[in-house]
Amino acid sequence: MGKETFTKILGYKIFNKNKEELLNYIKSFNKVHIISGNPEVLSNGLKDELLFNNFTGESSVIIPDGVGTVIASKIVKSPVMEKIAGIELMEEIIKECSREGKGIYLLGTKEEVLNKCIGNLKIKYPSLKILGCHNGFFDLNNCEEILEEINNLKPHALFVAMGCPRQEIFISKYMKSINSSIFMGVGGSIDVFAGEVKRAPKWMIDIGMEWFYRVSKEPWRIKRLSSIPEFLIKVMKNK
């Protein structure tokens, strides 16, 4: 795809077309790391060489997941077509895997949350092949057994829910050696599929206020919001 498909922000290329075009674009890769490019994730990438090299590599695509990234695209006068929420993209990939008989693997969060998520996905997508899962409580530098299990199962998509930047570090470290095609850090999405957390009402999502809803439900998130103004200030200084 050409330059017009991406918006340049702080050395990153952000996919700026719609979700349907993104799904088609993903199919052009043998292996792809889909990065939910909100200000927190992108800011972590700027501070970490391993992450930055992965995020800007040829096997990665960054989606504009977050109102802060949408605003940043307007600041650099190359607005993205739409915000693409990671959880919505994850569900589209799950639907596609279910239709095409391709398997998925879920890595991260707590055991009981994983089990609830798997139960709900099996009800919603009866033909979905959930090949395996593992909780997120392990040493990133000593996880050969988990890697071996994933490689033996060969899932088409590996969804990693261990929070930022841990999930992105895991994918950046091991993606080349794992037998999967799609790698995606999905944060709290598994909690949502498990029914543990609710997404904001559609009208709040549509006007870019999902972050406000999440903070009202989980006040501890307010500390993480500081990454948005810090990111936007960097973008203004560098545009």
pLDDT tens per residue, range 227-239: 889 999 999 999 7
pLDDT at 127 > cutoff 90: yes
Over range 40-46, report the average pLDDT: 96
CB–CB of 81/162 below 8 Å?
no
Among 214, 47, 80, CA closest to 55: 47
pLDDT at 167 > cutoff 90: yes
Give all domains of the chain, ordered by start, each with its CATH number: 3-193 (3.40.50)
pLDDT at residue 175, rounded to an integer: 97
Q: pTM (2 decimals)?
A: 0.93
Distance, CA of 102 to CA of 170 (rounded, Å): 22
Among 217, 200, 198, 196, CA closest to 117: 196
Distance, CA of 108 to CA of 186 (rounded, Å): 9
Distance, CA of 89 to CA of 64 (rounded, Å): 11
Where on the phi/psi map is residue 57: left (φ > 0), alpha (ψ -120 to 50), or beta? beta
Among 54, 11, 93, CA closest to 172: 54
Give residue 209's pLDDT band: very low, low, confident or very high (50, 70, 90).
confident
pLDDT at residue 157, rounded to an integer: 98
Average pLDDT of the chain? 93
Sheet harboring 182-185: ordered strands across? 6-9, 12-15, 60-63, 32-36, 182-185, 157-161, 103-108, 129-134
pLDDT at residue 3, rounded to an integer: 57
Q: By three-state DSSP, how is residue 186 classified?
A: coil
Q: By three-state DSSP, how is residue 83 classified?
A: coil
Dump the DSSP string for 42-66.
HHHHHH-HHHHHHHTSTTEEEE--S
Over range 176-190, report the average pLDDT: 96
Give residue 174's pLDDT band: very low, low, confident or very high (50, 70, 90).
very high
Over range 209-213, report the average pLDDT: 68
